[in-house]
Structure 1
Amino acid sequence: MIDLHKRDGIWSVTLNRPEKANSLTRDMLNSIVAHARAAAQANARAFVLRGEGKVFSAGADLTQAAEGLAVDPIWEDVSGAIAALPCLTIAALNGTLAGGAMGMALACDLRISVANANFFYPVMKLGFLPQPSDPARMVRLIGPARTKMILMAGAKITAQEALNWGLIDRIVDICTFDAEIDALTRDVCGASADHVTAIKAMI
């Protein structure tokens, strides 16, 4: 349910559960953590998160969420492992991003989206707290008022709104989506791992 493809220092991790809107199980989350830590050890130049199908991720698997996954520390492990990567990290959002899956996208350096994606994080409605690091990361991107719009008022925002707010960095046509991600990783692919790490550290 998590596919890994490595090419020229680019690690592509794909959520591959399209029949369930790529909802995340504990095993899937553990796999993402393991891949992120392995990428750091392997001096990867870029780490790209993708979704299979028409949705990036609907968040936690509903059955496992009811059994405690919704409040499990594994979500922080995922976003922390991604945030700690010394390479370029990209959330390639092929569709809607919802719930706990927001944390892994917020932890990335860049968020690239298709035009028909929606973004929402219904923790107020569902009675859960967001993962601890998510509000601070969201505030840094879009400010406190808009963060409250999403986390407290339950706003579901479009890709265009997300771009205007600064939640995502670029909207790309689905037909050229893969080519755009490849273009964004081209320079780091041709650089040394130390060079990639040094520039990211300076930023």
Structure 2
Amino acid sequence: MIEVSKDGDLWTVTINRPDKANSLTGAMLEELAETFESAQSARAVILTGTGKVFSAGADLEEARAGLATSPLWERLSSAVAALPGLSIAALNGTLAGGAMGMALACDIRIATPGAKFFYPVMKLGFLPQPSDPGRMSALIGPARTKLILMGGQKITADDALTYGLIDRIVEPEALIDTARDICTDTLAAKLEIAAGIKGMCS
């Protein structure tokens, strides 16, 4: 359910469970974490999904059994954030719940016009993963972060672009090509130069 393709130094990681809205099981989270931990030599990584939803977050049955508070979420987002090369979340649709963390940890987020963004963790009785509020607040500010995390608001792609939660809205058929195009200069550079620029932007 996690597919990885490599085109030279460009990796594309795809969540492929469209019949379950790409909801994530513990095994899928672990596979994603291991994939990103092993991608440290990649110059660029694109993270995307199949179907019309990027990810609905935790698989409901496993969430009830404890997955919602698993340290695997934080392990995954930390692995994404640690990539020395460029990381792009190519969001093919709605991004919800704990799946927000890995997208927030990417360097760039692009999304399709119909995507929505929400993180109903408080309503479900859980705290968000430790790094998620800080990363979200760095992008959109503390008030809008509270609007999502405490106000339970669903944000449209247009609002997400205005807020700075995403960086571009792209039609579905052009999503991956756009992500690949953004990676072009990074792929042509030395990894240490790309990593150096990335560090200077932090």
Structure 1 length as normaliser, TM-score?
0.97
**Matched residue SS, 1:129:** coil
5+ residue gaps, structure 1, are none
Q: Give the whole-Å Cα distance in 2 for the aligned partners of 1:129 and 1:201.
A: 29
- Deviation at residue 202 of structure 1 after TM alignment: 1.8
Give the structure 1 partner of residue 73 of structure 2.
Answer: 75
Q: Give the whole-Å Cα distance in 1 for the aligned partners of 2:197 and 2:181.
A: 18
Residue 120 of structure 2 is aligned with which of 119, 122, 127? Answer: 122
Q: Give the whole-Å Cα distance in 2 for the aligned partners of 1:202 and 1:80.
A: 18
Give the structure 1 partner of residue 189 of structure 2.
Answer: 191
**Matched residue SS, 2:165:** coil
Give the structure 2 partner of residue 156 of structure 1.
Answer: 154
Q: Give the whole-Å Cα distance in 1 for the aligned partners of 2:153 and 2:83.
A: 30
- Give runs of aligned pairs for residues 126-145 of structure 1, distance below 5 A: 126-145=124-143
Give the structure 2 partner of residue 172 of structure 1.
Answer: 170
Instruction: Describe the superposition over 1:4-28 as per-residue Cα deviations: whole angstroms up to 9, x where unpaired.
Output: 0011201111000000000001111
Q: Which moved more, 1:113-122 or 1:188-197?
A: 188-197
Instruction: Describe the superposition over 1:148-195 as per-residue Cα deviations: whole angstroms up to 9, x where unpaired.
Output: 100001000100000000100100111221221111111112222222
Structure 2 length as normaliser, TM-score?
0.97
Runs of 4+ in 1 over 3 A off after TM superposition: none
Q: Give the whole-Å Cα distance in 2 for the aligned partners of 1:174 and 1:104.
A: 20
- Deviation at residue 37 of structure 1 after TM alignment: 1.2
Q: Give the whole-Å Cα distance in 2 for the aligned partners of 1:168 and 1:63.
A: 30
Q: Tell me how many residue pairs correspond in the alignment.
A: 201
5+ residue gaps, structure 2, are none
Instruction: Describe the superposition over 1:106-134 as per-residue Cα deviations: whole angstroms up to 9, x where unpaired.
Output: 00000000000000000121111101110
Give the counterpart letter for 1:29 in structure 2. Answer: L
Give the structure 2 partner of residue 109 of structure 1.
Answer: 107
Q: CA RMSD in A?
A: 0.8
Instruction: Describe the superposition over 1:1-54 as per-residue Cα deviations: whole angstroms up to 9, x where unpaired.
Output: 0000011201111000000000001111111111111111xx211111100111
Give the structure 2 partner of residue 29 of structure 1.
Answer: 29
**Matched residue SS, 1:6:** strand
Give the counterpart letter for 2:94 in structure 1. Answer: T
Give the structure 1 partner of residue 42 of structure 2.
Answer: 44
Query: Among the aligned pairs, what percent are the same residue?
Result: 59
